[in-house]
Structure 1
């Protein structure tokens, strides 16, 4: 009997984009407690760049990268036929070791634990759906669990043109918050304004003064997506009893050397962090966001689309910061 094959991106080991190779592999077999997904699209994330650069821990090579994917249920073990999932059900999956401890979403099929599958129903194009899951999970979790943002508050998004930054701005505006977002590139200020951002700040590494010209006491909440190089300045832009949530590492720097809390943290400013997975994205939140995009009520921001064969170009664009918004690969499956 011929074994069914699929196309997948395999990372041979840490290094340049040339280490990402599209190859043919067997379609993963179903097993109890796991779901096989026919992948229609997957988003790219800095986490996968960290894996390729050798900055991620616990990765065994060769590995199919990818911490997220969207598609349809393609296979279930007979023991899981009463799970509530059915063949053809649209689903998203993310995190939980994908692309690190087991093969991830950079393939035409992937096999993931049932507990990290989020069902939905949408007629949106797959490239749009593919831009949503991990970006939404991260932005939603950061604003709720991380910052407890409420209507009428002010939010600073440090790293505003990233996919998470754009999603966070959209969610915050939908909530009724006042949004300040940063970009290092003045040419991208217009895109942020069109996205609904109230105040765009050109980031030269020191924007706390500009924030306090707008809000003398500082912002109520700040979402740090750049990393530790800008974190002190973000803390300085936040009011007493305000909160900064450390979520992203666009700079690839996330360690604070010789951290001395009393010297590092402005008095009364709170610092927290966020990192989540599929379980942190409620089905209702994903469905409402997709419906909002379809209805024109929520702006997703730009989506940059690639084919599976264009994975090296996509990774190079992500590494060099050449694109605004989310990078999505369509598998063609």
Structure 2
């Protein structure tokens, strides 16, 4: 099969087309003939040597795919209501930049009606991440206010739409007026240009001084202190990336006085059972929103798989709004 390999750690140019033996499914797995592969920030980190592959996972990058099941564990597929020939999208721990990809049955979801494979490939990584962190870990509830750092990212555009559909008020930050406008068009109640305004001051002002209930943070570093300041009482800060660095200073007194929760998680190394439970929740709670059009994939660009280096260069430029997808 054709694949895209990381030939050495470094710049996007180290991504090159290659060939590997076709994979064979194991117990509880299927093989998907891939039509499209999502591109995500962890892929960039892996290419740079900053995101080690979990034990047992493929060294081929790529955490989400969409395509058709070509073979699999018949018993596991029967339990999941899937079969050979079904169109699915799947979250994987690696191996997504390939014509054929192995995925655990529990991490496969049917392609929502009316969606293309390109749109479906943009779903798993961000939808699993948002659901797990915003709704399960941070327990965002209807009527609460969510602040999303990086609202125009793949994670951001997903979080905006699901949170609004679930009855939350949504504030976002973004790095340009154009990106702020795009976030509002997707349903955000307010967008803050973090290059021209202090998001903590704005968030407090927009909530009448109360603060926000939940913050989804992909920056960490110096952001954490200001996030603690603009959280409401019993607020929850969930950190899912550290683009601003791993070290933070914060006012621990505010954490105590406001009874704050500071938490975080990564998804890739979690168990199949954990990810399968998220998939089941998504199928029940969110897939109907995709089927109805209440939540929609946001695709910025597609690239032929052989041009994966250009896709990574775009992601690193931070000029995109929404998802970047490779096609096979």
Query: TM range, normalised to the smaller chain?
Result: 0.7 to 0.9
Aligned residue among 195, 200, 208 for 2:186: 195
Give the C-alpha shift of residue 294 in structure 1: 4.6
Aligned length: 317
* CA separation of 1:187 and 1:30: change in aligned 2, threshold 3 A: closer
Deviations 1:186-206 (A, max 9, x none): 221211111111111111383
Cα distance, 1:290 vs. partner?
4.6
TM (norm. structure 2) is 0.87
- Take 2:211 and 2:158, find their aligned partners in 1: how far apart are those partners? 22
For residues 284-333 of structure 1, what are the alpha-carbon distances to aligned partners after superposition, in whole Å with 9 as ceiling and x for unaligned? 624764553453322433432111122110011111212111111111xx
Between the aligned partners of 2:227 and 2:324, the Cα distance in structure 1 is: 26
Relative distance call for 1:311 and 1:149 in structure 2 (3 A) is same
Give the distance between the partners of 2:58 and 2:110, measured in 1 at CA. 30
1:1-333 equivalences under 5 Å are 6-58=1-53, 63-76=59-72, 84=80, 85-95=82-92, 98-99=93-94, 104-120=95-111, 122-204=113-195, 206-215=198-207, 216-249=209-242, 251=243, 253=245, 255-256=246-247, 262=252, 265=255, 267-268=257-258, 269-276=260-267, 278-283=275-280, 285-286=282-283, 289-331=286-328
In the TM superposition, what whole-angstrom CA distance separates every residue of 1:37-94 from its partner, at most 9, and x where no partner exists?
A: 1111111111111101111135699931111212221112577675553111222222
CA contact (8 A) 1:141 1:274 kept: no
Deviation at 1:116, TM superposition (A): 3.2
Question: Where does structure 1 lack aligned partners over 5 or more consecutive residues?
Answer: 1-5
Distance 2:59 2:127 in 1: 25
When structure 1 is superposed on structure 2, of 283-292 and 130-139 the one drifting more is 283-292
Indicate the RMSD between aligned Cα atoms, in angstroms. 2.7
Where structure 2 has 5 or more consecutive residues not aligned to the other structure, the ranges are none
8 Å contact kept, 1:12–1:62 = no
TM-superposition CA deviations, 1:148-205 (whole Å, max 9, x none) = 1111111111111111111111111111111110011122121111111111111138
Paired with 1:280 and 1:120, the residues of 2 have a C-alpha distance of: 18
Shift of 1:119: 4.0
Q: Note the alpha carbon deviations across 1:116-156, whole angstroms, 9 max, x for none.
A: 33345534111111111111111111221121111111111
1:272 partner SS: strand
Aligned-partner Cα distance in 2 for 1:81–1:141: 24
Separation of aligned partners in 1, 2:322 and 2:28: 34
Cα pair distance change 1:34/1:295, threshold 3 Å: closer
Higher helix share: 2
TM-superposed CA distance for 1:265, in Å, is 4.4
Moved more, 275-284 or 300-309: 275-284
> Secondary structure in 2 aligned to 1:305?
strand
